[in-house]
Structure formats: C-alpha cells, structure tokens
Structure 1
C-alpha cells in the first residue's frame, strides 16, 4: 500500500497474497496498525497529496486524482480530518515558511496525524 497508494484498495487480493481471508486480514491489520487498511491507505494518499500541494504545480483536483482518490469531496474531507485544514488552505500556507528546509525536516513537520495518534497525544 505504501508504494502503490494511487491504486484502488483490494483487500481481497491483499488477503489472498498472504493466505488469509479478507476479514482476518482486516482484523490483523487493525491490531498491527491501529486502523483499517482503508484508513491507512488514505493516510498515505494524504501524505503524498501534501507533498504535491507544497510543490504547487497541480490544482487541488489534479492532486486528488494523482494520489488515487476518485472523489474530490472524500479527498477534501479526509485531508481536513488528518491535516486540520482544507487542501486549499494547506497549499496557501505551504507557500511560506518551508523554503530552504531539508526535505527530511519538511516531511517530519508536515506529517499528518492519524486519529489514534491524536488521541494518544492528548487531542492535538
């Protein structure tokens, strides 16, 4: 999922690849990562979208489709949940303040917070 984040999620195919049922894979995935395979994939997509929005050469709609989301509404809702602002607001804010920083620092500072991390961190 990390490499092929733009592809549709096929839990059945993933489960076949590790010789499990889809339900068992989903339960084991949730135990290991604290979220469903779909939520994990959406987090990866939003991370990539953040990078593309900082780059600034694609519209929000183009970024949405580039990361594998089929619905701009779903993309915007999930982006806002994870990042705390809309994709357009993020793009405007990214235009200032991160220039010249090493990419590793930018990635660390801008990483979205998943629901379980926000809860564990005292509701950041």
Structure 2
C-alpha cells in the first residue's frame, strides 16, 4: 500500500503533467489558429482522449478548445480589420474560418457588432493604419 504522502506527490505530479499538456494544446492553437484544427487531432497530439481534453481544457481555461480557437481567430480577424489591409472576407479566410455565416455570428457575439460594421467604424475613427517594415540593418561586429 502507498504511503499517503507518496500518493499526494504522485497526484500532484500527474496534475502538473496534465497542465503542461493543456498548455501545449493552447500554444498550438495560438500558433496554428489559421490552419484546420480539430479537438481529436489536438488531443491525439498530447496523448489524451478528446473528451478528456475538452473537460480539462474547459476547467483550466474556462472555454472548450474549439471555443478558444474561434476566439483567437476572431481576435486576429479584428486586428486585420483594424489595420485596414484586408476586407471582411479576406480577414475571415486569413484566420481560417471557412463559413461566412459562422464567422459573422461569432464575431458579432464576441465583439458586439458584425465585422463589416466594425471595419467601417474603426476606419472612420482612425483611418487605415499603415504597417511599415523596419529598415534592414546589418549586424554590427564588435
């Protein structure tokens, strides 16, 4: 029979391992938000069952993996619309949302207005933002 302190230590080690796996999933979503991602593939990538990943991710981050993914996509799309470089359809495709209706609904839910209205208001308020590349510099040798 295990000593109680060993059992606690083992449980704590498992909890830390699970949190590290959840962080890897979240980091992958943050990096690959524009690519097609599904919960089964995300779970497989960290050696978890999809249902387990969904439950534990929601406990740790307050949202499902898919909810977190769509929120990141909308966040990135809003940034594209703010800078004025892309229209709504281009921003939607750039962040990996294939469905215009789903994109519009989720954008409206999270931002509080449809993406076209958001783009109009932001452009009217500040005008398009120009993104300039930093001048290329040669590394300085000391």
Query: 1:82 and 2:110 equivalent?
Result: yes
| CA positional deviation for 1:17 | 2.0
TM-score between the two structures when normalised by the length of structure 1? 0.75
1:9 corresponds to: 37
Pairing partner for 1:50 from 78, 88, 93: 78
| CA positional deviation for 1:10 | 2.1
Aligned counterparts, 1:34-113, within 5 A: 34-98=62-126
How many pairs were matched up?
Answer: 99
| CA positional deviation for 1:57 | 2.3
CA distance in 2, matches of 1:61, 1:78: 14
Matched-pair contact (CA < 8 Å) for 2:38–2:66: no
CA distance in 2, matches of 1:10, 1:77: 20
| CA positional deviation for 1:13 | 1.9
The structure having more radius of gyration, on CA atoms, is 2
| CA positional deviation for 1:24 | 0.3
| CA positional deviation for 1:55 | 1.4
| CA positional deviation for 1:93 | 1.4
| CA positional deviation for 1:98 | 5.0
| CA positional deviation for 1:86 | 0.6
TM-score between the two structures when normalised by the length of structure 2? 0.66
Structure 1: any 5+ residue segments left out of the alignment?
Answer: 100-124
1:20 corresponds to: 48
